[in-house]
Each structure stands twice: as C-alpha cells, then as structure tokens.
Amino acid sequence: MVDRLLPRVTNGDIIGPVDASQVPRYAGAATFARLPRIDEVERADVAVVGVPFDSGVSYRPGARFGPAHIRQASRLLRPYNPALDVEPFSAQQVVDAGDIACNPFDIAAAIGEIEAGARALTASVPRLLTLGGDHTIALPLLRVMAERHGPVAVLHFDAHLDTWDTYFGSPYTHGTPFRRASEEGLIDLKHSMHVGIRGPLYAASDLPDTERLGFATITCEDVELRGLGAAVEQMRERLGDAPVYVSLDIDVLDPAHAPGTGTPEAGGLTSREVLVMLRALADLDVVSADIVEVAPAYDHAEVTGIAAAHVAYELLSVLCRPS
C-alpha cells in the first residue's frame, strides 16, 4: 500500500499525487506528477510507463532519456484541469509503472520486449500513457492495442509522416512505424489522421502514399490558413466513434516550443494549439496514447519537458473514465 506518511491528494480509495501544498514540488520521488508507483496501489485505471529506447532514430539521438525528463518536468502539474473541468488524478487511479527495459543494440529484439511489456501491463491496467523514446515504439504498442480493441484510429501528431518504407534497408525505424502498422492491419484505415505535417518530403508521392496507407492529413499550413477551429472539426469528423490511439511526436511543436527533439522542423504548431486539439478529444473513445521523441540534451530551461508534461496531463484528462 501507499506510504501513508506522505501527504497525498486522495478521493476515497483513489490515491493521487503527493500534496504540493505540503511537500515542495522539487522534493520526493520522481514518479510522473509524483503519483504512486504501480506496486503501491491495489488497482489502476491508467498507467504512465516509460520506454527509454532511441536506437531507431535517423538524426540526433537522446530520446532514451525522454521519460526521465518528462517525469522531472511533471512535478509542476496540479490536480485540477479547468479547461476540461476534471481532476484526472482523483476521478481515476493513475500510477507510474516505471520503464519497460529493452535492448539498445537490437531493434527487432527491443520491439518484441516493448510489445511483451505493454501486453503484460495491459493485462491489469486498461489504458496506457507511454513516454518515449523514439517513434519506433509506436509499432509494438499498436500491436497490443489492436489485440484489445481491433484496428484503432491512429491520431498522429507529428512534423513527419512516419509512413516511409525503410531507412538504410531497415524496415523498423522511427520513420516507418505507421507503414508497418498499416501493413499489419493494426489501424483503422477510414479514421486515422496525421496532424501537424510540414517541411520537405522525400518525394511528391509521399502524401498520396500515406493516404493509401489509411491516413488523412492536416498540415500546419492548413491550421494557419483555415484556422484552428476548422482543423479541430476536421479531426473530430475523421475520428468519429472509432477507438482512438493518440501518438504524439513532440516535434509537432515548433522548435521555439520544443527545441529538445531529434528531428526539428521550422513552422510548427504552438503548444497552445496542440493542447486545444487534445482537449477536443474529451468525449471521444481514446483508449491509450504515447508521447515520443523528447531528447533532453537539446532542451533548455526544460521548455520541451514542460510542454511534454502538459501534453501528458491533457491526455490523462482525456483518458479519464470515472471509477
């Protein structure tokens, strides 16, 4: 059971974070939002789990340190979300499940270990919020989600399509997970969507190719020219009533808002725009989510970590199913 010597925010049998009015935010265990560990509670509705893996990157490494960086920045979070009028840590039991350890030298082995770890965790916890790690980790996570829910609508926030075929002959990298997921029948081809795409592509065929694989696309230019409200409406219409898996690469944000990432692209969304879009998912069937590509070595003043922690908070609010 939870150490009752720690003052915590509680709601009946739900154990929340350490009470920041009694213990300074910079003190105490470095779990996400200073929530209890999974072994400190009798049950859990949502588990925050790290996957410190970045062997699939094509440019700057360092996302293996992303989970710890996001957890550190999450100390700032507070219990009540006024935008959605929900207390995500009181309405559901959220826990920190630690990290899924995986092979840093063998990508195929790591994918298998991530898949096995996520499957074992979802045997007792229905919803996951996974902290990466590079975007390679989305593929094994989607395999587990498809086992539980059937093909899911993937809502993919990213500067990049991540539906390319291979890098240096390898089919498993951070630029290929959604092609593999589409080929494996893991995604709902009628309801999946990219949001935040921008920058140069490899070929003129990339956009029609990603559409063939099941993804509609909202580019950053679309948001700029048509407005955020229109983008939200298009996103919700595309997702419909399908079970939704949200996969958010932090480089969907402009480098001004998230410099700490491996493949930054100019002209991105603001953190405010992304948070508004995430809040628009509150009444949809979001089943799990991930946040990837936070690379703290390129961050400064915790700008990227803070953005990722707030993204995680909004996703936990969206995942909220009152117990």
pLDDT band at 6 (very low <50, low <70, confident <90, very high): confident
Residue 217 identity: T
How far CA 322 is from CA of 1, 47, 108, in Å, comes to: 21, 15, 37
Fold of 8-318: Arginase; Chain A (3.40.800)
Structure tokens of 36?
């209890």
Q: Does residue 197 sit in helix, strand or coil?
A: strand
Position 259 pLDDT exceeds 50: yes
Residue 237 identity: E
Q: Does residue 96 sit in helix, strand or coil?
A: strand
Q: Across the strands, what pairs with 57?
A: none
What is the tens place of the pLDDT at every residue in 160-202?
999 999 999 999 999 999 999 999 999 999 999 999 999 999 9
Q: Across the strands, what pairs with 215?
A: 192
pLDDT band at 7 (very low <50, low <70, confident <90, very high): confident
Q: Across the strands, what pairs with 308?
A: none
Q: How many contiguous H segments (helices) and E segments (strands) does the chain have?
A: 9, 10
Longest dimension (CA), the chain: 60
Cα 323 → chain centroid: 23
Q: Where in the chain are the domains? A: 8-318
Phi/psi at 54 (nearest 5 deg)? Answer: -145, 30
pTM: 0.96
Assess contact for 60 and 16: CB atoms under 8 A. no
What is the tens place of the pLDDT at every residue in 287-307?
999 999 999 999 999 999 999
